[in-house]
Homo-oligomer: A and B are copies of this chain.
Amino acid sequence: MDRGGRLSTPPIRVDFGRLRYFIALAFETVGMPPADARVVAALMAEADLQGSDGHGVIRLAQYLKRIRAGGVNLNPQIRVVQERAAMALIDGDNGMGHLVMKRAAELAIEKARIAGVAWVGAQWSNHAGPASLYARMMLAHDMIGLYFAVGNANHLPPWGGLDMLLSTNPIAAAIPAGEEPPVVLDMATTVAAYGKVKAKAARGEMMPEGWMIDREGKPLTDPRRAAEGFLLPIGGYKGYGLALVVGLLAGTLNGAAMGKDVIDFNQDVSSATNTGQAIVAIDPAAFGDLAQFKSAVDKLVRDLRASERMPEVDAIRVPGDRSHALAAAQRVEGIAIAASLMQTLDRLAEQLDIPPLRTN
């Protein structure tokens, strides 16, 4: 599962509860209220559980650094600043994005139960981990969830341009099924995520054409030259348009950062990011019979899986299959933590004077 394993020692397995406990304890050492620390820790551990490992415990050190630098408000007054029957705008007061978006999702569910559909936007939020976490929150309520966010660093110029004005603004959607696992899409609007480029560089491999271009618009395939070029949006100008529209809906509409106002949270750890996100809850029961809807999703998913396959394709997958299977497996076997990440976490535990993850 873990690509790092091929180069070095195999990953270490820790169970969900231990990972959550470790993360919560780490946040408490920098002054996060324990109840909030538990919420953030559970969401970060869930990210690792489902294989969104670029958005789980790997971010812990970065979050702690930002908190220490005063870049995040540990005692935010998260509050609704605009509200109608089918919408709300939440001011996150620069709190942890996980807290803001969990609140947004809960409010969207509550409103959608009455109005049928509800859209909740957030301003003055922060990085909240993988998009799918929040879209998935609707599933337990038999609702459809959609999520849009402005990324926390600009990696894309407008199509044909050279100025980095857009982020890889992600889209997530979660649709409940009956007997089949839910359909869960979680995608950045670029062909490859920046993390995949870094992974290629670490392994000394070249990138395929289509991931990045240089400043002349020519294919860039050497990941060590990544800083000289740009990620390519999916479908060229189409992905540029999608990234822009997602940013307008999740950022501009909410009075949150977009374009030039986006702060690169890798470089700047102390300024408030004013991250914008939006979540939509749709109640299929408002549209008709819920059981009928779910069995229609089941039928569609089964028809897709049963499709004749191209040579050398072992199975037709539906969005969410991989994360669903991985979460189920890691719930039993424990969550795989790469050996190198575990070493980093060991040092972090020592600095924070908390029990290390590997033995806690």
Contacts and interface: CB of A to CB of B under 8 A. Distances in A.
Interface of A: 82-87, 89, 111-112, 114-119, 121, 144, 157-163, 165, 171, 173, 175, 183, 185, 187, 191, 210, 215-217, 234-242, 244-245, 247-249, 252-255, 258-260, 282, 284, 286-288, 292-293, 296-297, 299-300, 303-311, 313, 315-319
A116 B183 contact: no
A317 B244 CA distance: 12
12 contacts: A82-B287, A86-B115, A86-B116, A87-B287, A115-B115, A119-B282, A160-B317, A162-B310, A163-B307, A235-B235, A245-B319, A252-B300
Given A260-B303, A286-B82, A234 B239 contact: yes
Q: Is the interface of A mostly helix, strand, loop or mixed?
A: mixed
Contacts of A112: 86
B116 A319 contact: no
A215 to B, nearest CB: 7
A241 B307 contact: no
Given A117-B117, A253-B282, A307-B163, A318 B86 contact: no
A89 B286 CA distance: 9
Nearest to A210: B210
Contact of A162 (B89, B119, B308): B308
Contact of A118 (B117, B245, B254): B117
Counted per complex, copies of this chain come to: 2
A162 B304 CA distance: 10
Contacts of A318: 158, 244
Nearest to A252: B296
Contacts of A307: 157-158, 161-163, 165
A161 to B, nearest CB: 3
Given A158-B316, A160-B309, 9 more contacts: A84-B117, A86-B112, A87-B116, A144-B248, A144-B249, A162-B307, A163-B303, A237-B319, A252-B297
B316 A161 contact: yes
Contacts of A242: 171, 185, 187
A66 to B, nearest CB: 26
Given A287-B89, A288-B89, A293-B252, A316 B119 contact: no
A316 B244 CA distance: 13
Contact of A286 (B84, B114, B247, B311): B84
Given A89-B287, A235-B234, A297-B252, A303 B116 contact: no
A215 B307 CA distance: 13
Contacts of A144: 248-249, 253
A284 B248 CA distance: 11
A297 B254 CA distance: 12
A231 to B, nearest CB: 11
